[in-house]
Amino acid sequence: MKKWLSLLLVLVLVLSLAACSSGGNNAGNQGNSQENTGNQGNTQEEEVYKLVLSYYASDVIPPGQAVKEAIKYAEEKSNGRLQFDAYFSGTYVNKTDTMAALATGLIDISPCDAAQIASVSILNQVFNALIQADLPERRAVQDVYVRMIKEIPELNEEMLKNSNCFWLYPFVMGGHNLHGNVRIETVSDFKGNKVEAKGTAGQYVNLMGGTAVELDSGDYYNGMKLGTVDAQFMHWAAINNYQVNEVVKYHTIFGASEIGSGIMMPAMGYFMNQDSWNKLPPDLQQILYDAFVVGANYCLKADEESFQQGVDYAHENGHEFIFITGEARKEWAGYMSTILEEWFANCTAAGYDGKRVYDKMCEWFEAN
């Protein structure tokens, strides 16, 4: 009897151990299952979003280098969840087709200049408007442009309506002054001269009796050297980067400062397809926005260095500077009124109050 009782106890013990062992394994498997579920969740969070970026110009000039800095930031901060196929020098989409490519989603992001923006907008041409009074320093202008996009919703509403893209972030190119091989101090000095100028600046040249000529950036140097044009309305970075400074000897500056001056200070911008933006989770949207703030600041700093190099080179080589300020500027400002009033009328016809937006911009300029 004792023997059978002992055998029974052994059997109960074995069965108990087996049950414990089985229960432990099930618990372990459930734990692994939860881990796997967690890994699946992480996989969803770590989905890779590949964006196509196209820029019509080279990646060795400051705006192109700035794009590469923005991409580097976005990829690092997102731990590779944001990736880019980046094309430069118009190798994927040429300049004139960029806005259409953004609208259709053929490309997701592109840096666009004032001429490209103007091709699909009326109200947003404010960023390429002639300025009748002295401009503040470039970084103050940059701050105003950022504020305008944040506080004047019609600007992005127009871009979305016309091309299904929006301002991801702007950056200012610099003041457009006159650089050339003819001495121009008064409006009458324009007559008979060919001046490289685009968009609104070209209208301005023609109105004052000159002949506006548009050149591709690669032709700036030879255009001036060979006499295709007599002068150019442009900012110092382009004058320096394209070596135009080597073949000119006069600089007509609209303001008291060689750099913080000009008849206009056009904005470029990083534009993004709205549908592509909507596909990104909020954390990646923030990283992407921050990345192009980094890009804009990189471009500002790089251009400042180039501006100063250009000014220094001109002084060192005996170029003449003519400064248009105070009463002397009023004659030049008068010719701007005709162009501005025409633009205000075009804005009204398109359903926008362009004068209100322009006046607000000038008010913010003055406050800076």
End-to-end CA distance of the chain: 105
Domain residue extents for the chain: 48-172+266-305, 177-263+315-367
pLDDT band at 296 (very low <50, low <70, confident <90, very high): very high
CA atoms within 13 A on the CB side of 153: 0
Neighbour-count burial of 219, counting CB atoms closer than 10 A to its CB (0-12 exposed, 13-18 middle, 19+ buried): middle
Contacts 24+ apart (CB under 8 A), 241-246: 241/61, 241/62, 241/306, 242/217, 244/179, 244/220, 245/179, 245/310, 245/313, 245/314, 246/221
E-only strand ranges, the chain: 49-54, 82-87, 109-112, 165-172, 177-180, 194-196, 211-213, 231-234, 250-253, 267-273, 320-323
E-only strand ranges, 18-63: 49-54
Whole-angstrom Cα distance, residue 197 to residue 174?
A: 15
Proportion of the chain above pLDDT 70, given as a percent: 88
Average pLDDT over residues 124-146: 93
> Over the stretch 203-240, which tens digit does the pLDDT of each residue have?
999 999 999 999 988 899 999 999 999 999 999 988 98
Predicted TM-score (pTM) of this structure: 0.82
What integer pLDDT is reported at residue 19 of this predicted model? 38
In this structure, of 96-100, 321-325, 329-333, the range with the lowest mean pLDDT score is 329-333
> Over the stretch 73-91, which tens digit does the pLDDT of each residue have?
999 999 999 999 999 999 9
Contact 299, 241 (CB under 8 A): no
Greater pLDDT, 259 or 96: 96
Inform me whether the pLDDT recorded for 317 exceeds 60. yes
Nearest-CA neighbor of 324 among 334, 311, 313? 334
Contact 74, 272 (CB under 8 A): no
What integer pLDDT is reported at residue 45 of this predicted model? 56
3-class SS of residue 169: strand
Inform me whether the pLDDT recorded for 260 exceeds 50. yes
Q: Which residue in this structure is represented by tokens 């025409």?
A: 342
Proportion of the chain above pLDDT 90, given as a percent: 74
Two domains, one topology: 48-172+266-305 and 177-263+315-367:
yes
> Over the stretch 31-58, which tens digit does the pLDDT of each residue have?
333 333 333 334 445 899 999 999 999 9
Greater pLDDT, 45 or 309: 309
Mean of pLDDT over the chain: 87
Tokens of 149: 């996009």
pLDDT band at 10 (very low <50, low <70, confident <90, very high): very low
Tell me the CATH number of domain 48-172+266-305, given options 3.40.190.170, 3.30.300.30, 3.30.70.20, 3.40.50.1820. Answer: 3.40.190.170
What integer pLDDT is reported at residue 254 of this predicted model? 94
What integer pLDDT is reported at residue 14 of this predicted model? 34
Inform me whether the pLDDT recorded for 2 exceeds 50. no
Inform me whether the pLDDT recorded for 12 exceeds 70. no
The answer for 198, left when phi > 0, alpha when psi is -120 to 50, beta otherwise, is beta
Inform me whether the pLDDT recorded for 24 exceeds 80. no
Tell me the CATH number of domain 177-263+315-367, given options 3.30.465.10, 3.50.50.60, 3.90.110.10, 3.40.190.170. Answer: 3.40.190.170
pLDDT band at 368 (very low <50, low <70, confident <90, very high): confident
Whole-angstrom Cα distance, residue 107 to residue 99?
A: 9
